Amino acid sequence: MKKDPVIFLKHILESIEIIDEFTSGISKEKFLVSVQIQDGVIRRLEIIGEAVKNLLPEFKYMHPGIEWKKIAGLRDVLIHAYFSVDLDLTWGIVKNDLPELKKKIKNIINSYE
């Protein structure tokens, strides 16, 4: 049974919004010393990657403006290399990549509803 891609897109959007809540108003320095915030952000990045993996290849092909493969790959790194997660890279993703991804995901969701 195929699942509606909007379900997975909404999981992605929800996780981005939760990451926004976790990191709103905090500095990189606070992020780097707060294991609680790190764990929450990393978990939500894992969920984003897992949701991407559940999207059908045809769907991803129809939306080439998103780096689906990199997002899924990040999930694999976070899951399997949890002792050596690069927190500077993680912070960069949160601050530089997620805002654009959020816009793109919202646009795709809106086009399906």
Catalytic positions are: 75
3-state secondary structure labels for all residues of the chain: CCCCHHHHHHHHHHHHHHHHHHHCCCCHHHHHHCHHHHHHHHHHHHHHHHHHHHCCHHHHHHCCCCCHHHHHHHHHHHHHCHHHCCHHHHHHHHHHHHHHHHHHHHHHHHHHC
